[in-house]
A and B are shown apart, each in its own frame.
Chain A
Amino acid sequence: MGFGRYVLHRLLLVVPTLFGVTLISFTLVYVLPGNPALVKAGSLATPEHVAAIERQMGLDRPVHVQYWRYLTGLLRADLGESSSTGRPVLEDFRQRVPATLELTLASLLVAAAIGIPLGVLSAVHRDTALDHASRLVGVGGVAMPSFWTGLLLLYVFFYLLGVAPPPLGRIAADVVPPTRLTGLYVIDGALTGHGTALLSALHHLMLPALTLGFAVMAPLTRMVRATMLEILESDYVKAAWAAGLPRRRVIYGDALRNALIPVITLLGVIFGFLMAGNVVVEMVFAWPGLGHYAVTSLVTKDAGPIQSFVLFVAVMYVLVNLSVDLLYGLADPRIRLR
């Protein structure tokens, strides 16, 4: 019915948002202290040499011309160059984004798989020992810094128990990564039937995903609990119960389906947060992802990667919000049909 138009409407709204994002990422680097040409030329360069590089990079032109060049560059998928790796930023990104994406998705999965059932159980068994225990776990996740959780997990599962691999990247050193299809080792391993790679990738993913998932689980649990409590008191839940549907079916069917609608939004927010916020965990587990790259670039004042990282995270947020809106439309008929 109206769903096609709804999708089109949401898609059109993305265009001005993305335009605004490029303005911000451009301005950010423009107003940052430090001359990119100076960084590129090195500390021993003569003023003439620096001026030549400025001309070459277009830094002597008016702001709007610089922005225009930046924008047209983006449209040609030209993200500039990294002065520390000396390679196009796009190349560096192509290598690191899948690692971050894999970790983010796995963490989100962990958070949802534990957080949502915990929230439901907390609501159903409100004010019981189970509810209090779940709150304690949630507070622990929020209160413990993730580098600490990560180290703790490493200590227990790698050092003491020896069931986890050493924190040295995405896959064991002696395992050949699967043929690149999506760049996510787990998915590529499964798709190409490369069992050893799949297992090794899962094995390496386990602890970092648990660490991150644990950190972002609490808001999910709290929200599911609060929404479920409200919905369990609602008339339609009582009505379904009064109509003879078993209480269990009412809770896990009628109530949960409605409670999951706002959860979609929260999952989107958490996804964005994870994309930008897993820097620390990438450091702890030597995960060759984007966070790692961004921090290094920031330390060396490498403008191109920083600009692109900001742009990338913003674009991810926009895309995630778009998916959230579309999923919302699917999940809630009241939105779809308006």
Chain B
Amino acid sequence: MSELLEVHDLTVHFATEDGLVEAVDNVSFSVRPGEILGVVGESGSGKSVTAHALLRLIRPPGRIVRGEIRFEGADLLALPEARMGAVRGARIALVFQSPRTALNPVLTVGRQIARLYELHQHVAPAEAWRRTIEMLTLVGIAEPERRARQYAHQLSGGMCQRVMIAMAIASSPRLLIADEPTTGLDVSIAAQILDLLRALGRRTGASIVLITHDLGVVAEACDRVAVMHAGQLVEIADVHTLFKRPLHPYTQALVRSIPRIDREVAMEPIPGAVPSLLAPAPGCRYADRCARVLEVCRRERPVLRAAGASHEVACHAVEVESGTAVR
């Protein structure tokens, strides 16, 4: 099966007054058609920057330094800006972290969806409005006719997120990037939003990249998981393998940090904080927090290697023999 999206060596830098922040460092991964790929990591690990970079939404002082983003046969980083506009929203859509601030406060929510139909599908305003109401119904908003005429501040957080999702899927994108779509929502509302995303993914066949810091969300919703730490992608595997046999010391620590009530295991927080991305040292950025650190870790950046069927890891301490991790 060919991949829908292939990212190679994506690197994003931000020029700040203190120096160059290397927010995303040589990240490579791919997204298969119809799957849900989770991207996990602590705050500041570069998840959101990666998501924005996929749509080329990085603005100065940020800059995509190098890399390749292959999507539907084209390298997005090489497209002229005008053609990129036809990808954004139409082929790849983004669901924002905080739905309330991601909706324009002076436009009705219906208008914000309807204008996308006018833009991407070139339909008349009346038809766009009809499709908007249909879409609001689809994402589970009661009284869509009335809600469409309201403003973001008149809707609940959960409803705003449903509107955001309606906006994102209005043009039937092939890839939906959801950046922490459940942050700030009640647990029950969050579960509903996740269910909605999954159902929409199944229904339309679109792939979803689900960015989150919540491993519970990953376990519940994703097919595969990519783990990011300090701007580097350290491990990628199918969800079952990742929880059962994590290889990277950071992933192992993440999994151990999940509170459990079914076993008498003490919850272990990960020592240290995400290291500064300001001119970081060469080598593995987890080295200072790692219990299995080797001398080579501080010298050389580990690259992703196959460590099993649909399992890749970037760690010097993991020994791999003919594509399978042995230790």
- What is the 8 Å Cβ interface bit string for chain B, positions 93-121, against chain A (1 contact, 0 not)? 11011100111111100001001100110
Q: Are A257 and B106 in contact (CB under 8 A)?
A: yes
Q: Say yes or no: is B181 at the interface (Cβ < 8 Å to chain A).
A: no
Taking CB atoms and an 8 Å cut-off, the chain A residues in 224-251 that contact chain B are 234-236, 238-247
Q: Say yes or no: is A31 at the interface (Cβ < 8 Å to chain B).
A: no
Q: Are B101 and A243 in contact (CB under 8 A)?
A: no
- Given A241-B57, A243-B116, check contact A333 B105 (CB 8 Å): yes
Q: Say yes or no: is B131 at the interface (Cβ < 8 Å to chain A).
A: no
- Given A258-B105, A333-B105, A334-B105, check contact A243 B167 (CB 8 Å): yes
Determine the distance from Cα of A331 to Cα of B90 in the docked complex, in whole angstroms: 30
| Minimum CB distance partner of A261 in chain B | B106
Residues on A with beta carbons closer than 8 Å to the beta carbon of B116: 243-245
Q: Say yes or no: is B86 at the interface (Cβ < 8 Å to chain A).
A: yes
Q: Are A258 and B88 in contact (CB under 8 A)?
A: no
Q: Are B102 and A235 in contact (CB under 8 A)?
A: yes
Closest CB of chain B to A230's CB: distance in Å? 12
Count contacts between A and B, CB distance < 8 Å: 76
Our pick among B55, B97, B102, B115 for the contact of A236 (Cβ within 8 Å) is B102
Determine the distance from Cα of A234 to Cα of B98 in the docked complex, in whole angstroms: 11
Residues on B with beta carbons closer than 8 Å to the beta carbon of A240: 104, 112
| Minimum CB distance partner of B104 in chain A | A236
Q: Are B104 and A258 in contact (CB under 8 A)?
A: yes
| Minimum CB distance partner of A255 in chain B | B104
Taking CB atoms and an 8 Å cut-off, the chain B residues in 136-195 that contact chain A are 151, 153-154, 164, 167-168, 171
- Given A234-B101, A244-B120, A245-B119, check contact A331 B85 (CB 8 Å): no
Q: Are B102 and A239 in contact (CB under 8 A)?
A: yes
Residues on A with beta carbons closer than 8 Å to the beta carbon of B38: none
- The interface centre, meaning the residue of A240, A243, A245, A246 with most chain B CB atoms within 10 A of its CB, is A243
Q: Are B106 and A242 in contact (CB under 8 A)?
A: no
Q: Say yes or no: is A254 at the interface (Cβ < 8 Å to chain B).
A: yes
Q: Are B93 and A331 in contact (CB under 8 A)?
A: no
Our pick among A254, A331, A333 for the contact of B151 (Cβ within 8 Å) is A333
Closest CB of chain B to A127's CB: distance in Å? 9
- Given A236-B105, A257-B106, A258-B106, check contact A243 B89 (CB 8 Å): yes
Determine the distance from Cα of A246 to Cα of B101 in the docked complex, in whole angstroms: 20
Q: Are B106 and A235 in contact (CB under 8 A)?
A: no
Q: Say yes or no: is A60 at the interface (Cβ < 8 Å to chain B).
A: no
Determine the distance from Cα of A235 to Cα of B164 in the docked complex, in whole angstroms: 12
- Given A337-B151, A337-B154, check contact A244 B102 (CB 8 Å): no
Determine the distance from Cα of A89 to Cα of B167 in the docked complex, in whole angstroms: 62
| Minimum CB distance partner of B152 in chain A | A236
Our pick among A236, A242, A247, A331 for the contact of B89 (Cβ within 8 Å) is A242
Q: Say yes or no: is A78 at the interface (Cβ < 8 Å to chain B).
A: no
Determine the distance from Cα of A247 to Cα of B56 in the docked complex, in whole angstroms: 12
Our pick among A242, A254, A331 for the contact of B104 (Cβ within 8 Å) is A254
- Given A235-B98, A254-B104, A333-B106, check contact A243 B93 (CB 8 Å): yes
Residues on B with beta carbons closer than 8 Å to the beta carbon of A257: 106
Determine the distance from Cα of A197 to Cα of B307 in the docked complex, in whole angstroms: 87
Residues on B with beta carbons closer than 8 Å to the beta carbon of A235: 96-98, 101-102
Residues on A with beta carbons closer than 8 Å to the beta carbon of B57: 238, 241-242
Determine the distance from Cα of A235 to Cα of B167 in the docked complex, in whole angstroms: 14
Q: Say yes or no: is A91 at the interface (Cβ < 8 Å to chain B).
A: no
Closest CB of chain B to A234's CB: distance in Å? 7
Residues on B with beta carbons closer than 8 Å to the beta carbon of A331: 106
Determine the distance from Cα of A173 to Cα of B55 in the docked complex, in whole angstroms: 65
- Given A258-B106, A334-B153, check contact A238 B89 (CB 8 Å): no
Residues on A with beta carbons closer than 8 Å to the beta carbon of B120: 244
Residues on B with beta carbons closer than 8 Å to the beta carbon of A238: 52, 57, 96, 102
Determine the distance from Cα of A334 to Cα of B100 in the docked complex, in whole angstroms: 13
Determine the distance from Cα of A245 to Cα of B171 in the docked complex, in whole angstroms: 13
Closest CB of chain A to B116's CB: distance in Å? 6
| Minimum CB distance partner of A234 in chain B | B101
- What is the 8 Å Cβ interface bit string for chain A, positions 316-336, against chain B (1 contact, 0 not)? 000000000000000111100
Residues on A with beta carbons closer than 8 Å to the beta carbon of B171: 244
Determine the distance from Cα of A238 to Cα of B57 in the docked complex, in whole angstroms: 8
| 7 A-B pairs in the complex with CB atoms less than 8 angstroms apart | A235-B96, A238-B102, A243-B94, A245-B85, A245-B89, A261-B106, A332-B106
A contact set with B: CB distance below 8 Å: 234-236, 238-247, 254, 257-258, 261, 331-334, 337
Counting from the closest, the 9 A-B pairs by CB-CB distance are A244-B89, A243-B89, A235-B102, A244-B88, A239-B102, A235-B101, A242-B94, A236-B104, A333-B151
A-B contact sample (13 more), CB < 8 A, given A235-B98, A242-B89, A245-B85: A239-B102, A239-B103, A239-B164, A242-B57, A243-B93, A244-B87, A244-B116, A247-B81, A258-B104, A258-B106, A333-B105, A333-B106, A337-B151
